Structure formats: C-alpha cells, structure tokens
C-alpha cells in the first residue's frame, strides 16, 4: 500500500520548503541524463562545476556526440571512473541518431543506452519526465530502513522483496516527486553518520526512534583509495589530460610501484581510455 497520507504529505512539504537549488532539477531531460551519469558514486559538490561546464559546451546529445573522444575524456576531469564519460559519449551518439536528439522516455529504450541500468533508467524517468518510478539510491534505502523497518542501515543490495515493498510506498498523489523528496531527505536529514533526528518532521512515526535507535551494520565502504589501482589509474589519466603523450619513462616517476603502473596502463587501454603506439601513451581517439 502507498505511504500513509500524513507521511507523504509531511515529506513532500518538507522537500518543497528545503530542497537544494540543484541545476539539474530545472533542466532538460538531457541535462538530467548527464547528471545521473556524473552522480554515480560521486558527491554533488564535485559534480556541480563539471555538469555546468558540460551543459555549456554540449547542451544537446548531438553536441556531445560530435565532440572528439579525447576532448570528452579531458572534460570529465577528476570526477573518477572515467569509463562513465565514454559510456555517456556513446549514449549521446545513440540519442542523437536513433532518437532524434531526444532522450527516450521508456525503460526499454533507456536501459538500451550504454551505461544505463535499472537504477539510472528509473532515475531519468522520475527526474526528467515526472514518472512515479521506484528509485532506490543509498539515501532513500537508508531512510526507508529506519523509518519503516526500525533498522539503522539497509542491506548491501535491495532484494526483490524490498523492491516490491518500496514500490508500494509511492503515493497515489504527487508520486512524481516522491523519488526526489525521499532522496533529498536521506541526503540532508536521515544521513548515515549524524542524522538530524531532532529536526526530523517524521520523528514521531519513525520506527528506528521508537525502538530507541538500535545499532546496525553499515554497508561496507569502498576500498581505501590511497595507493589503490584506482588512484594509479587516475594519476596516469591526470598526466595524459595535461600532456599530449608520455613514455613509460615519463610516467614512472609518478608512481612508486612499476608493476602497478604497468597494470594501470593495460587496464586503461582495455577500457578504451588511452592508447599506445608501442613507445608512448596518449588519450584514446
């Protein structure tokens, strides 16, 4: 059954009064699609300047589709996981050619785009087209787990049972902004480490509060970044964004472990992010 009228009304009223002024909330469906690619595992404050730059340079799918691959990789900057930039570039080409430069609305057409899975398709449908779809990011799942189940943290991944139960919460009225409201609430009020329970407009109905805040097991965090393969790859990409090409000898002083550096180069080539002439490396394309 849908969330109670009092719960949904209070939550949506809170959202209308407290939502952040994020530019992708008042943009085109293309702007929403770009934001969803960028926001995957990346905080809002890092995405904001890059999203603004991209939308200025490439305001439509056709604009991005026409951009050279190295330019796209450079523009991604230090957002991390640069394969997302390639998938977004590929998606832009499909939208520009097959969909007449318009982001498609149907789930089937959305998930057919490179880099778009169930979550991203649902988010685009909700935020670009106002569809009452089920969006389950970590902020929403944490809020639901506390408020409805009395558990501090959700499980590592949503089960089919959880998906069914959460879908049934979508209210009959204003279901089009339910995803945005619950996501914002989890990001600003029902936060992971220091939830603002005293300021919560829903605290009197919260099961976690009623059970006196039992402690749970947090979702395992991503592996340490310092010294990781991800950091090594990022170091290589950072150098090649600033320099046209580089030999292994030029790159070697940037990283202390030669074997890890060579592995990074191989995986970056395999991912289509860089290429080699055999003597030097450069951004792909």
What pLDDT digit, counting tens, does each position of 96-123 carry?
999 999 999 999 999 999 999 999 999 9
pLDDT of residue 2: 62
Instruction: Give CA angle at 120 (17, 70), nearest 5°.
Output: 110
- Measured over the CA atoms of residue 68, residue 72, residue 74 and residue 80, the dihedral's sign is negative
Write down the pLDDT at residue 4: 74
Percent of the chain with pLDDT over 70: 99
pLDDT in the model for residue 223: 77
135-189: per-residue pLDDT in tens? Answer: 999 999 999 999 999 999 999 899 999 999 999 999 988 888 999 999 999 999 9
Q: Which residues are catalytic?
A: 36
Tell me the two tokens of residue 36: 């969803």
Whether the per-residue pLDDT at 275 is higher than 70: the answer is yes
| pLDDT mean over 222-239 | 90
Check whether 3 has a pLDDT greater than 80: no
Q: Which of 9-18, 210-219, 221-230 has the highest mean pLDDT?
A: 9-18
> Are the CB atoms for 120 and 139 separated by under 8 Å?
no
How many other CB atoms are found less than 10 A from the CB of residue 266?
A: 11
Q: Which of the four pLDDT bands, split at 50, 70 and 90, describes residue 126?
A: very high
Query: Running DSSP on this structure, what letter comes out for residue 24?
Result: G
Which tens digits make up the pLDDT trace of 66-91? Answer: 999 999 999 999 898 999 999 999 99
The model's confidence at residue 246, banded by pLDDT at 50, 70 and 90, is very high
- pLDDT value of position 191: 97
Quick check: pTM over 0.85? yes
Cβ-contact 268, 236 below 8 angstroms: yes
Structural domains of the chain, ranges and CATH numbers in brackets: 1-19+131-221 (1.10.1670.10), 20-129 (1.10.340.30), 229-283 (1.10.10.10)
| Residue 5 pLDDT greater than 90, yes or no | no
Query: What average pLDDT is seen over the chain?
Result: 94
φ, ψ of residue 70 to 5 degrees: the values are -60, -35
């Amino acid at each position: 059954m849908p969330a109670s009228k009092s719960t949904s009304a209070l939550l949506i009223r809170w959202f209308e009064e407290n939502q952040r002024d994020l530019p992708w909330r008042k943009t085109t469906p293309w702007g929403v699609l770009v934001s969803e690619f960028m926001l995957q595992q990346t905080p809002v404050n890092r995405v904001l300047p890059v999203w603004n730059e991209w939308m200025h340079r490439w305001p439509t799918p056709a604009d991005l589709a026409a951009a050279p691959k190295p330019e796209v990789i450079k523009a991604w900057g230090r957002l991390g996981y640069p394969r997302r930039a390639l998938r977004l570039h590929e998606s832009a080409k499909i939208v520009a050619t097959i969909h007449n430069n318009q982001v498609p609305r149907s789930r089937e057409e959305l998930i057919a785009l490179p880099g778009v899975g169930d979550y991203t398709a649902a988010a685009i449908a909700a935020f670009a087209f106002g569809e009452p779809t089920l969006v389950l990011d970590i902020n929403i799942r944490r809020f639901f787990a506390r408020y409805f189940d009395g558990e501090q943290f959700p499980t590592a991944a949503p089960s089919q049972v959880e998906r069914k139960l959460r879908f049934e919460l979508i209210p009959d009225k204003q279901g089009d902004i339910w995803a945005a409201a619950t996501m914002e609430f989890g990001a600003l009020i029902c936060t992971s480490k220091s939830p603002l329970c005293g300021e919560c407009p829903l605290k009197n109905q919260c099961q976690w509060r009623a059970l006196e805040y039992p402690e749970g097991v947090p979702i395992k965090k991503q592996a340490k970044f310092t010294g990781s393969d991800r950091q090594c790859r990022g170091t290589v990409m950072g150098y090649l964004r600033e320099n046209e090409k580089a030999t292994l000898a030029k790159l070697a002083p940037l990283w202390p472990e030669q074997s890890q550096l060579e592995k990074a180069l191989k995986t970056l080539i395999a991912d289509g992010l860089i290429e080699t002439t055999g003597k030097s490396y450069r951004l792909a394309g």
